[in-house]
Amino acid sequence: MVKRLMVVALVMGVTAAFTLPAQALGRRGGCGACGDCASPCGMTAGCGVSVSYVDRQITCYRPVMKESVVNVTVQQPVYTKQTVPQTTYECHTSMVPYTYTVLEQHVEKVTKPVTTYTCQTTMVPYTYTVLEQHVEKVTKPVTTYKCEVVQVPYTFTVMVPHVTPTQRMVTTYRTEMQPVTVQVPVTRVVRVPVYNPCTCCCQVCCYPVTEVVTCTRMVCRSIPVQQMVTVNVCTYTPEQRQGVRCENKVTPITTMVTCDVVRCVPVPRQGMRPVTTSVPHTTNVTCDVVRCVPVPKQGMRPVTTTVPVTKPVEITVCSYQPKLVPQRVMTCTMEAYTTTVKIPVYNCGGCGGCGPAGSPPSAPMGAPPSGPKSGPIGG
C-alpha cells in the first residue's frame, strides 16, 4: 500500500512540473508577442537589442510524504464453545446357539472277492539261428609295383661369373687434430683477512672467486680425400649345359594268387527255454470298512454386535468477525512553496520595428504592457 502511494505522488509531482506556465520558466527561443522569427518584433539585422534579467517570485508544488492513521478492516477470529451430539459404536459379545455337522466313523464287515496271481515256469521249445564259418579257396589277381632307377638326360642353366677391373672415384676421410681456444670459468678460493671489531682480532675468511680463463683444447675433425681406385666388378652370364639325372620309375606287375576266404553261413537250430506265466486265483475275503457318517450337533458360539451410542461432546468453533484497526500509512500531498527565478527581458532600440528611439524600457516578463509600442519580449 505504501509503495503504491509513493508511485502516485511521484507521478503527480512530474505532472505539476510540466504544467507550470511558460512565463514562470522563461522562453529564450522566440519573440513573444511577435511570434517565432529570426529577429524579435520583426527587427532587421541592424536593430540593437539589450537583455536584462529581473527577479520574480513564482509558486511551485513539490510532493511531501506524510504519515497518517487510517482505520483498516481486519478479520478477527472468535473462538466459541459448542455442545454437539456425537455417535460412537460399542462392541457387545453374546453367546448364541448354532447347529453344526460332525463326520463320525462307523466300521462295517464287508465280504469281497480278492484275486491273487501265482507265477509258474514251463519249458517251451523254440528255433534260433547260428552263424557258422566256412573256409573257401579263392584265386584272384594281385597287382604289385616295382621301383626302378633310370638315367635321364636334361638341360640346365649355369650362371658363369666374369671379373672386370674398373676405375672408381672413392672418398675417404682422414682425421686431423686442431687446437681451439675457449673461455672457461674457473672458481678458486681466496683467503682474505677480516678485522672483527667485537673481538679486536683479525680473522682469515675464504671466499670463492670465479674467473674466466683462456684454454686451448684439441678438436678432432674429419677431412674428405677423393682418389681413383681400381676395383674388380663381377658380372654373371647365363650358360646352357647338358647333364644326366636319376629318376625313379614304378612298374606294375599282376600275378594270380590263391587265398583262403572265410564266410559266415546262417544255420537254424532247435532248443528249449523257460517261460514264466501268471495264474490267477480268486478267494472271498471279509474285511473292515470305515465309513464317515454326518451327524448334526448343537453348540454355543460368541457373536459380536456393534451398538451405536450417542453422547454430547463440547467442541471449539472458530468464526471470523470484521474489526476496525488503526494503521499507520504514508500519504503523498502536494505542498506549495515560493521561489525566486531570473527572467530575461529584451529591450529594443529605435529601429522602427518595436518603437522610436529613446522609448522607455520594456516591462518585466509577465507584467502588463505600459503602452502600445513597448512590452516584454519573450513573454
CA distance 120 to 211: 134
Give a yes or no: residue 138 inside a domain. Answer: yes
Place 4 in a pLDDT band, splitting at 50, 70 and 90: low
Average pLDDT over residues 93-106: 91
Place 15 in a pLDDT band, splitting at 50, 70 and 90: low
DSSP letter (8 states) at residue 371: B
Phi-psi group of 102: left, alpha or beta (phi > 0 → left; psi -120 to 50 → alpha; rest → beta): beta
pLDDT at residue 238 is higher than 90: yes
Pick from 339, 135, 148: nearest CA to 247: 148
Q: Residue 302's pLDDT is what?
A: 92
> Which residue matches cell numbers 677391373?
165
pLDDT tens digits, 21-44: 444 444 444 444 344 443 444 444
Of 85 and 357, more confident:
85
CA distance 142 to 54: 159
pLDDT at residue 338 is higher than 60: yes
Average pLDDT over residues 40-58: 66
Give a yes or no: residue 49 inside a domain. Answer: no
Cell of residue 110, nine digits = 464287508
Rounded to the nearest 10 degrees, how much is the dihedral formed by the CA atoms of 16, 21, 26, 27?
110
For residue 362, CA distances in Å to 23, 30, 48, 77, 186 come to 15, 16, 14, 75, 103
Pick from 10, 5, 129, 149: nearest CA to 68: 5
Q: Residue 41's pLDDT is what?
A: 42
Cell of residue 29, nine digits = 527561443
Pick from 161, 211, 153: nearest CA to 186: 211
At position 356, the amino acid (one-letter code) is P
pLDDT tens digits, 167-223: 999 999 888 888 999 998 989 888 888 877 777 777 888 888 898 989 898 888 888
Distance from the Cα of residue 164 to its chain's centroid: 79
Report the mean per-residue pLDDT for the chain.
80
Minimum mean pLDDT range among 48-57, 273-282, 346-355: 346-355
Give a yes or no: residue 170 inside a domain. Answer: yes
At position 55, the amino acid (one-letter code) is D
Q: Counting every residue, how long is the chain? A: 379
Cell of residue 174, nine digits = 682422414
Place 13 in a pLDDT band, splitting at 50, 70 and 90: low
pLDDT at residue 17 is higher than 80: no
Give a yes or no: residue 346 inside a domain. Answer: no
Q: Residue 207's pLDDT is what?
A: 85
Give a yes or no: residue 257 inside a domain. Answer: yes
Give a yes or no: residue 60 inside a domain. Answer: no
Average pLDDT over residues 355-360: 41
Give a yes or no: residue 102 inside a domain. Answer: no
Q: Residue 378's pLDDT is what?
A: 38
Place 317 in a pLDDT band, splitting at 50, 70 and 90: confident
Q: Which domain holds residue 167?
A: 118-266
Q: Is 238 within 8 Å of 158 (Cβ atoms)?
A: yes
CA distance 87 to 310: 4
Minimum mean pLDDT range among 51-55, 126-130, 134-138, 363-367: 363-367
> Which residue matches cell numbers 504592457?
369
Tally of domains in the chain: 1
Place 161 in a pLDDT band, splitting at 50, 70 and 90: very high
Q: Which residues contact 13 (CB under 8 A, 6 or more apart)?
A: 61, 62, 63, 334
Give a yes or no: residue 42 inside a domain. Answer: no
Q: Residue 5's pLDDT is what?
A: 61
CA angle in degrees (0–180, nearest 5) for 351-354-357? 50
